[in-house]
Structure 1
Amino acid sequence: MENKPKIIISSTDLAEIERQLEERKLPAELVDALEEELARAKILPNKEMPNDVVVIGSQVKFKVLETDMTFTKTLCLPEDISKYDDGISVFAPIGSAIIGLSTGQRINWQVQRSLQTVEVVWVTQ
């Protein structure tokens, strides 16, 4: 079994993700994967969240380790993607992989891919 990094989710992000999971018709495999991530997360009030943890509304620089390519994306809710030039939905595979990660953590993502967070900047709180 794969060792997954410890993640931290804000109570506000958790509530919003759970609300949207109930309301949206998302593919079962995406819902299952995201719920698995949420189930293993440590949940903290917003005011206790470390500022190097990926939350909804944070801009994340991450590297795909197999290609050494670096990307910068702002994690957001699907309806907010157009607000950002670099927006990525928390329901996209990469979005659900990076939420809750701290700077420097690695996670396997999709088939034969792993990524590492390089930097986290909170855009909104």
Structure 2
Amino acid sequence: MNLKPIILLSEYQMLREIIKRNTDANLTKDVQQLSNELDRAIVIQEQELNKKIIRINSEVEFVEEKSKRKMKIQVVLPENADFKKGKISIFAPLATALIGFSENDSVNWNMPAGETKLSILSVSNENPEI
């Protein structure tokens, strides 16, 4: 079954605006990937939101299935990205792969090093405000 990402309407609109305003040619492919994910997303209202859906500012623990490597990141807006602190820009392929999915979902994604399967172990939305 091919899962579709679930995106909150307010975040969907904000991400579309960020994509439209992007002028960094180095990010063209990554921005297009995010746009493609938004194209196939199920957009929901605030009252429909499941607290375990990955969104902007979510902290996510997942495992990359091939290497069994566990990782913990926070999905953030580009201006808040700080790789050393585990804050990954929504434009990064890893964040784009995870946004809109939930705890216990598995996602197949084409990363720069090739296709990989990510299994989401936990999602925390303690600080979901943008």
1:79: which partner in 2? Answer: 79
What's the CA shift for 1:31? 2.6
C-alpha separation in 2, matches of 1:65 and 1:33: 22
Q: TM-score, normalised by structure 1?
A: 0.88
Would you say 1:55 and 2:55 are equivalent positions? yes
Q: Give the counterpart letter for 2:2 in structure 1.
A: K
1:19: which partner in 2? Answer: 17
What count of residue pairs does the alignment treat as equivalent? 122
Deviates more, 1:95-104 or 1:10-19: 10-19
Residue of 107, 112, 122 corresponding to 1:119: 122
Once the two structures are superposed, residues 62-106 of structure 1 have per-residue CA deviations (whole angstroms, 9 ceiling, x without a partner) of 110110001111111011225x93211110000100000111111
Alignment identity in percent? 25
C-alpha separation in 2, matches of 1:99 and 1:45: 16
What's the CA shift for 1:25? 2.3
RMSD over aligned CA atoms reads 1.7
What's the CA shift for 1:13? 1.3
Q: Give the counterpart letter for 2:95 in structure 1.
A: G
Deviates more, 1:88-97 or 1:102-111: 102-111
Contact 2:63 2:120 in 1 (8 A): yes
Deviates more, 1:42-51 or 1:66-75: 42-51
C-alpha separation in 1, matches of 2:85 and 2:32: 29
Equivalent positions of 1:83-98 (< 5 A) are 85-98=85-98
What's the CA shift for 1:108? 1.6
Q: TM-score, normalised by structure 2?
A: 0.85
Structure 1: which 5+ residue stretches go unaligned? none
Q: Give the counterpart letter for 2:53 in structure 1.
A: V
1:6: which partner in 2? Answer: 4
The 3-state SS of whatever aligns with 1:120 is strand
C-alpha separation in 1, matches of 2:2 and 2:89: 21
C-alpha separation in 2, matches of 1:78 and 1:16: 12
C-alpha separation in 1, matches of 2:126 and 2:51: 11
C-alpha separation in 2, matches of 1:123 and 1:80: 17
